[in-house]
Structure 1
Amino acid sequence: MAQDSVDSSVGTGRAAAAAEPLDELDLALVHALQVAPRAPWSGLAPVLGVDAVTLARRWRRLSASGRAWVTCYAGPGRGAGGPGCLALVELAVERGALAAVRDTLTRDAQAVSVEHVSDGRDLLLTVGAPDAAALSAYMQQRLSHVPGVVSVRPHLVTRLYQEGAAWRLRALDAGQQRTLGTASDETPRDRRVTAVDRALVLALGRDARAPVNALARNVGVSPATAARRVAWLIGSGHARLRCEVAHTLSGWPVTALWWLRVPPPDLDEVGRRLAAHADVRMSAAVTGPANLYAAMWLRSLGDLPAFEADLIRRYPRVEVLDRTVVLDSAKRIGRILAADGRCVGYVPMKLWEGEDGPPSAP
């Protein structure tokens, strides 16, 4: 029920040669697509000062090598009460079984991210499900039966303050970002998500820059219908677009995770302020002894003590229960990653059942 086939056409496997570094134009192009993931090359060209043909060629090279990609995942829609049923799940694994368990779970559709972490934890999964019952079933019927898994400990996300789609490379200046971010703020009228909508989200998940004609052929509708539905999905927040980059090439190669205990009256304020920090990729209220979780990309391990000291100075009532470092990101939002962070495969994220809107991903 939880597994899916792996599309390896986007890469060649985890044991691959070191990735070619990104130059200034590569970084600017990725940043531009973080702001405007489906912008036409002709629209990006004047902002970046490079012709559209060159930008298209650069992007083909970046995406073919797995150094950058644009994906799509299901969102709850604007104005929804929460992120659906999203959980951070810690797994303890038998000695010698870590690699096998990691590789097995990267092929699960519901385990949207899989990370090997330090300091007393083995694997940390980000799991999406349509509701708590489906999440429970996945943990009991799937995770608990994977050979080598010793224990399963979930932390449910109760509020998502920030997710990775908002993180930026900082390669463009403020004027360039304003120019790219001038899309209408009008929110389309909400309606029920249909089977065609879900098929479009899955098609965009593999390549969120796919032309409308290709999307239409993929899901069996007219180009006009595909264009209209894609615009509604993105505008309503039922589809989230994200331009990602291999973290080892981004300039922020270290991923640090923080488990914080915040006095309940201060939780929303601290969660929102952490979300506004330029290095924070995820800020979420969670269940368990720690009620706030934060994930950051940092330039070096040496930045960890400085961040923690600043956190305690700003919020003296916040208690740091634990901090850890990601040793290996095996999968991030449906993308299987090589050791150097490049995308080498894709598992479609089929996180919903029935006709209800799906959960969001971090």
Structure 2
Amino acid sequence: MDDTDGTILRALQVHPRASFRRLGEAAGISEQTAARRYQALRRAGVMRVVGIVRPAVRGDSEWVARVRCRPDRLEPLAASLSRRRDVGFAYVVSGGTEIICVVRTPMGAVGDDALLAALSSRVGVLDVRVDLLLHAFNVGSASKWTGFGGHLSESARDLVTSNGSAHGAGDDDPEAEGEDAGTGGPGESARLTAEDAPLVDALTHDGRLSHRELARICGWTVGRVRRRLRTLERSGALYYDVEILPERLGFDLSATLWLTVAPSAIDEVGAEIAAHDEVAFAAAISGDHNLMVAVICRDTDDFYRYLRTGVGAVDGVLGYSVSIRVRRLKQNASLVVQGRLVQPV
């Protein structure tokens, strides 16, 4: 990957459904070259753009679960958790006896017993700890991580987001870009219905499908697709995640920091840390450590530098512990199989 690919990824983080023409203009390349580079990254399993329904829309909360098990039971437990639809992220940490995952389920339906009941087998499970995710300072997994390089100027950012309607990879006609009515339609509700299922499933598979392709899949008109997407996106019910495998880009050390922060400072500390280039995700959680931070670095020296000059420079951090990721099992909507992001079966 070079700086041009990095700029394309940055532009997608700003507007995941930006047309290839806009991506090319932002990166200083042709529309065809932008499309070719994007497709190469996607085919290689390095990145995927996926549509995600915000859990609260379905009445779900997000919970951070830490499951300790016997080493000989790690593989079946990992497979069981990562293939569950209510599990958003999952990874194995150093030591080979602990899996950390994010579970999406209603407020009253989670806990140690509920999570254990969801597993295919409880044999070998030694301990389960579940904390509530209270507030995310940046939504998504690697959506906001920018440590991979590239450059997106303010003018390029404005270009990518102009006419902020929901385009897709194949929606480059002037009519599509100019259509930006204020709402989805008279009285249209952002509440998900059974009719939305084909649309949501298609976007989970590929968040950049064109309006025309989505219309074909759903059996709708193109206009109806545009209106429905606009309603869901502007209400916050639907968002897009740019999933990235940092290891494929030369960033081999990923870690979760469990920070203890004074309650009065947690908003300020969380927002400041979430803005760091090395941070992919930051959220306030319940428990002894009240701030969870996902960090991506090149190597041990780079991680040490970040702890010393990044976290160490933030006022209000009272203490921390570290979990080093040794294997990714699942990103937001994708399994990680043999070093590739793939759509779950």
Coarse TM-score class (shorter-chain normalised): 0.7 to 0.9
- 8 Å contact kept, 1:328–1:339: no
Give the equivalent residue in structure 1 for 2:302: 303
SS in 2 for 1:346: coil
- 8 Å contact kept, 1:144–1:152: no
Q: Give the Cα separation in 2 of the matches to 1:58 and 1:276.
A: 27
Give the equivalent residue in structure 1 for 2:170: none
Q: Give the Cα separation in 1 of the matches to 2:96 and 2:271.
A: 28
Q: Give the Cα separation in 2 of the matches to 1:44 and 1:26.
A: 10
CA RMSD across the alignment: 2.7
Q: Give the Cα separation in 1 of the matches to 2:272 and 2:60.
A: 22
Matched, 1:35 2:14: yes
Q: Give the Cα separation in 2 of the matches to 1:302 and 1:121.
A: 25
Q: Give the Cα separation in 2 of the matches to 1:205 and 1:170.
A: 26
- 8 Å contact kept, 2:18–2:161: no
State the 1:73 CA deviation: 0.8
Give the equivalent residue in structure 1 for 2:255: 256
Q: Give the Cα separation in 1 of the matches to 2:333 and 2:122.
A: 19
Matched, 1:101 2:81: no
Give the equivalent residue in structure 2 for 1:346: 344
Comparing 294-303 and 244-253, the one that deviates more: 244-253
State the 1:121 CA deviation: 5.5
- 8 Å contact kept, 1:197–1:233: no
Q: Give the Cα separation in 2 of the matches to 1:199 and 1:135.
A: 28
Comparing 107-116 and 190-199, the one that deviates more: 190-199
Comparing 265-274 and 185-194, the one that deviates more: 185-194
Q: 1:135 to 1:200 in 2, by over 3 A?
A: farther
Matched, 1:330 2:324: no
State the 1:142 CA deviation: 0.5
Give the equivalent residue in structure 1 for 2:287: 288
- 8 Å contact kept, 1:259–1:321: yes
Q: Give 1:212's aligned amino acid.
A: H
State the 1:106 CA deviation: 1.7
- 8 Å contact kept, 1:330–1:339: no
Matched, 1:55 2:54: no
TM-score when normalising by structure 1: 0.79
SS in 2 for 1:89: strand
Q: Which one has a larger percent helix, Structure 1 or Structure 2?
A: 2
Q: Give the Cα separation in 1 of the matches to 2:223 and 2:114.
A: 38
Q: Percent identity?
A: 26
State the 1:332 CA deviation: 0.6
Q: 1:221 to 1:241 in 2, by over 3 A?
A: same
State the 1:146 CA deviation: 4.3
Q: Give 1:134's aligned amino acid.
A: A
Give the equivalent residue in structure 2 for 1:177: 157
- 8 Å contact kept, 1:34–1:244: no
State the 1:188 CA deviation: 5.1
Q: Give the Cα separation in 2 of the matches to 1:308 and 1:134.
A: 36
How many correspondences in the alignment? 319
- 8 Å contact kept, 1:259–1:322: yes
Q: Give 2:128's aligned amino acid.
A: V
- 8 Å contact kept, 1:90–1:121: no
- 8 Å contact kept, 1:329–1:339: no
- 8 Å contact kept, 2:77–2:119: no
Q: Give the Cα separation in 2 of the matches to 1:231 and 1:246.
A: 29
Higher relative contact order, chain-length normalized (CA < 8 Å, sep 6+): 1
State the 1:239 CA deviation: 1.1
1:32-181 paired onto structure 2 within 5 Å: 32-75=11-54, 84-118=60-94, 122-129=98-105, 131-136=106-111, 138-143=114-119, 145-163=121-139, 164=141, 165-168=143-146, 169-174=148-153, 175-181=155-161
State the 1:294 CA deviation: 0.8
Q: Give 1:239's aligned amino acid.
A: L
Q: Give the Cα separation in 2 of the matches to 1:339 and 1:161.
A: 30
Q: 1:94 to 1:296 in 2, by over 3 A?
A: same
- Which blocks of at least 5 consecutive residues in structure 2 are unaligned? 166-179
Give the equivalent residue in structure 2 for 1:208: 207
- Which blocks of at least 5 consecutive residues in structure 1 are unaligned? 1-21, 348-362
Q: Give 2:82's aligned amino acid.
A: T
1:266-316 CA-to-partner distances (Å, cap 9, x unmatched) read 11111111112121111111111111111111122223333333324432x
Q: Give the Cα separation in 1 of the matches to 2:275 and 2:305.
A: 17
SS in 2 for 1:97: helix
- 8 Å contact kept, 1:85–1:135: no
